Amino acid sequence: MQAWRGSILVILAAAAVSSAQVGLLSPAEEKIQTAEKAIQNNPQRYQNYNDLAFALVSWAREISDAKCYSQAAEAVEKSLSLAPGNFEALKAQVEVLLGQRRWKEALECARPLNQRTPDDVPIWGYLAEAAFALGDYDESVKATQWMLDLRQNNARGLLRAAELRVVHGYLDGALDFYNQVYQQVPPHEVAQIASILTHMAGAELMRGRVESAQKLLDQALQQFPGYYLSIETLARLRAAQGNSREAVDLWRRRNQELPTPESLYGLAQALEQDGQRDQAKAAYAEFERAATPLVDQPANANRELVLYNVTYAHNPAQALRVARLEVARRHDVFTLDAYAWALADNGQYAEAKAQMEKALAVGTQDAAFFYHAGVIASKLNDRSAAEHYFKESLDLNSVSTVSAQVRQELQSIETRDRSGQAAARGK
Amino acid sequence: MGMSGRKLAVVLTALAWSVLAAGLARLAAQQSATDRLIRSLQSRVKMYPQDYAGYDQLGAAYIQKGRETGDATYYELAKESLGKSLDLVNNDPAAASAKTHMAVVAMAEHRFEDALKWAEDALALGSGDPSPWAIVGDAHTDLGQYDEAQAAYGKLRDLNQEGRPLSGISYVRDSRLAYLRFIFGDPKSAVELMRNAIQTAMALHMPAENIAWSDYQLGEICFKSGDLTGAEQAYQAGLAADPNSYRNLAGLAEVRTAQLRYQDAIDLDTRAIAAIPYPMFAASLYDLYLKVGRPADAEKQHDLIEFIGNLNPINQRLFYRDLALFYADHDMKLKESLELAQEELKVRQDIYTWDIMAWVLYKNGRVHEAEAAISKALRMGTTDALLYFHAGMIYSQLGDKAKAGDYLGKALATNGQFHIFYADDAAKMVGVSRQIKDGGQDGNR
């Protein structure tokens, strides 16, 4: 029992900042405390450990701390030792695997549970989440549809459906679903409210609606001050507005507690954009040190590592090596895009085009995708496709992180056209 | 307590038990649909001990039984059954129903903070069922947080029935919002919403007990805002829906009292008490017996009130407010009445708890504190003759004749027959002689 007590205290201490900022315990922290007390009162009741595991998973999602998943896994193990095969523990186990980004294992664990209890909505949710992360969007859609058919308007189903709509480029529909969930959430669930608002802001930002995104993020941070995901999105928004100094400040604030390799990369990019070369160099180095050992791990920053090697380190071979590792694990649109970008950087434009088309076929409305597709088309001397993609990128989001490069590319196409016309006239 | 006192207590206890037993025996004889449902669900969970939904439904059936009988022990059974359901399924949208029912039990036991927590927990499971918002709103209402209550009721939208007015959710929303409109001082809208809710309930063939409860709510709104005809019609409709509706019997007794038809009122209150011996029904009967000059019968009701109010810890908690008001109204146990009101205020901060606090403070001679309390009771602008009367009496004691006259005049203008004794008192204080027209259904306006 002592070990349990100690481990939870360590986790609670780690989140002291977020709690102090809010002034109250978050709902997940409250649930952890309740479960802890219940374990103290009745250490032989397996359900108490399940409750603790679920609460820890919720908390891990609130504060982005992978260590919580290990603690949750221990709680699941304890529950299963007290009551082998108990259903709630097996469900918690899948949630832990999903949190640890072990999607294939999560699928393997969730499938027999789904066969055992086919009307269990959360299990369909696990299948949907794992399939989504792996890029099996059709499977994810099927599982999500089951969720909504079994229990209309349930929040998990709507959130999953909203994410699918985002990836399929149906942003208005996604916002509609997010809004429906938002209406359902009770006021004390501040972390969930902030998460929904931040996802909505992310969808708005994808199409350059900066003001709307700003309002949603203001609301999110008012609800749940210091929420890491809101700060990350706000930093991206500032970058889109050209306010790179504030973007740097926000990334620094984000990285004060529990930085991830992805958030270190965000800071490095912001520093570079702000012209702080030495600081950017140091930040990129820190990112590389953090991300490289994780290359073979399920929870990695391989997509960022690919982009880093292409755009900053100029190490095409390393970019492609990492991209191939990741694409062997999953083929979601973002991994496909990173892979295509790495292939292009290695001069393999035809294969890059094929991978990029696979990503675009899903329908995701991401300005960077269109930029990458445009560059690849340009390298393949497909002027009209390149122009089409660049224009799509700008039409979608005129203030995206790649909008400056897109404008430059369009300008160089025009310049080339003019030179060509002049040369033709000269002849 | 001396020897005679002890004997008296024994006699009175026996009397109270006989009243209780008579009520329960009558209900048992009815062998209601709820009883049959309980038996069937008990068999189901015995046969399938892992059936979380069965335990949840059994819990809900116990709640319904508790509602029908007023017997708080059914809530204990409900909690036990719901707890078993939640042991089987907890972190899943499927657990939302059991958590919602836990919230209902907490409301019934006047544990409003707990009710709020359970209902919010149910919502946090994201089941897609908006009904826990009703309990969130109810809990906020009893906690005196009316804006939050309104916001919660606003969430009662049935996404599957969008655009179709006749849904269970629209009934829940309209009936709840009706009460809030009344609290906000808009009885006309309150009546309209409540009538909508009743029509919906009837169209959906909801259980008779629910329809009768809604009619009772409508009757209360009408009575408090001075529409005796509307009140009578509503209570009668409630009794037509469910002839055993003790609430409507007591409501109609209130109307008969206002019409000065005291014997009819006595008969109705006696029937209500035979169904459920609530202290507030006994308090009305106590007043009626005093009014018609039967002090010995009145005294029996007084003893019944004491007995029921202190039967067990749950009853004590449930009836703090009724007992405090009864003592204060009759200048009995004034110190205890204050303690009871203070206990109630710890768990409930709605305008009516502040009103009773104001009244017991006034009766205890703490008139400045009474003024502060009555200000809180009046803060929402509620149109309620009894609230105005209490305010008038407090300001009178404070020597503020203008405000006293104003509030007492408003009490009489709202409902010339608002109370068996106080209406006369108010009239005397403002120098108005009461005129009863049309069989006493209309007082001074």
The C-alpha angle B33, B39, B44, rounded to 5 degrees, equals: 125
pLDDT at B10: 32
Asked if A365 and A206 count as a contact pair (C-beta separation under 8 A), the reply is yes
Q: What is the pLDDT of residue B14?
A: 36
Q: How far apart are CA A188 and CA B119, in angstroms?
A: 11
B142-168: average pLDDT: 81
Residue A62 touches chain B, beta carbons under 8 Å: no
Size of interface A-B (CB pairs under 8 A): 69
Q: Across the interface, do A121 and B87 touch by the CB < 8 Å criterion?
A: no
Whether residue A126 contacts residue A95, with contact meaning beta carbons closer than 8 Å, is answered with yes
DSSP A134-178: HT-HHHHHHHHHHHHHHSTT-HHHHHHHHHHHHHTT-HHHHHHHH
| Residues of B with Cβ-Cβ distance to A88 under 8 angstroms | 89-91
The CB density around residue A354, as the number of other CB atoms within 10 Å, is 14
Spell out the residues 6+ positions from residue A303 whose beta carbon is closer than 8 angstroms to its own: A326, A334, A335, A338
Question: What is the Cα–Cα distance from A328 to A253, expressed in whole angstroms?
Answer: 34
Judging by beta carbons within 10 Å of its beta carbon (0-12, 13-18, 19+), is residue B33 exposed, middle or buried? middle
Is residue B334's pLDDT more than 70?
Answer: yes
Q: Does B210 touch chain A (CB under 8 A)?
A: no
Q: What's the pLDDT at B164?
A: 58
CB contact, 8 Å: B147 with chain A? Answer: no
B194/B170 Cα distance (integer angstroms): 11
Please name the residue that has the structure tokens 């210091």. Answer: A226
Could you tell me the pTM of the whole model?
0.82
Q: What is the pLDDT of residue A23?
A: 52
Q: Do A155 and B126 touch (CB under 8 A)?
A: yes
Q: What is the pLDDT of residues B198-236, one digit of tens each?
A: 999 999 988 888 899 999 999 999 999 899 999 999 999
pLDDT confidence bin for A300, thresholds 50/70/90: very high
Residue A109 CB coordination number (10 Å): 21
As a whole number of angstroms, the distance between CA B312 and CA B309 comes to 8
How much is the ipTM here?
A: 0.76
Within 8 A of A27 by CB-CB distance, chain B residues are: 124
Q: Judge whether B123 is closer than 8 Å to chain A, CB to CB.
A: yes
Is the Cβ of A188 closer than 8 Å to some Cβ of chain B?
yes
pLDDT value for B408: 96
Taking only residues 212 to 251 of chain A, the set having a beta carbon closer than 8 angstroms to any beta carbon of chain B reads none
Stretch A246-255: mean pLDDT: 98
Q: What percent of chain B has a predicted confidence (pLDDT) above 90?
A: 72
**Which residues of chain B have a CB within 8 Å of the CB of A54?**
91
Confidence class of residue A227 from pLDDT cuts 50, 70 and 90? very high
N- to C-terminal Cα separation, chain B: 49
| Segment A178-225, tens digit of pLDDT | 999 999 999 889 999 999 999 999 999 999 999 999 999 999 999 999
How large a percentage of chain B has pLDDT more than 70?
A: 87
Chain B residue closest in CA terms to A122: B92
Instruction: Using pLDDT thresholds of 50, 70 and 90, give the confidence band for residue B158.
Output: low
pLDDT band for position A20 (cuts 50, 70, 90): very low
The region that residue A117 occupies, defined by phi over 0 for left and psi between -120 and 50 for alpha, beta otherwise, is beta
Whether A88 has its CB under 8 Å from any CB of chain B: the answer is yes
What average pLDDT is seen over chain B? 87
Residue B117 neighbours by CB under 8 Å, 6+ apart:
B103
Q: Which of B86, B92, B135 to mutate to test the interface with A (most CBs of A within 10 A)?
A: B92
**Facing residue for B93 by CB, picked from A27, A154, A187:** A154
Closest partner residue to A151 (CB to CB) among B119, B127, B130 is B127
- Which of B89, B94, B128 has its CB closest to that of A155? B128
Which residues, 6 or more positions from A86, have their beta carbon under 8 angstroms from its beta carbon? A46, A47, A50, A79, A80
Name chain A contacts of B100, Cβ cutoff 8 Å. none
Bigger pLDDT: B191 vs A187 = B191
DSSP-derived secondary structure letter, B442: B
Token representation of residue A360: 């675009």
Mean pLDDT, rounded, for A262-290 = 97
Distance, CA of B179 to CA of B214 (rounded, Å): 11
pLDDT tens, residue by residue, B257-289: 999 999 999 999 999 999 888 899 999 999 999
Average pLDDT, integer, range A87-91: 94
Residues B92, A120: C-beta atoms closer than 8 Å: yes
- pLDDT computed for residue B312 by the predictor: 66
- 3-class state of residue B437 by DSSP: strand
Average pLDDT, chain A: 92
Residue showing tokens 């707990």: B114
Q: Are A150 and A121 in contact (CB under 8 A)?
A: yes
Lowest mean pLDDT among A266-280, A367-381, B6-20, B81-95: B6-20
One-letter amino acid identity for B28?
A: A
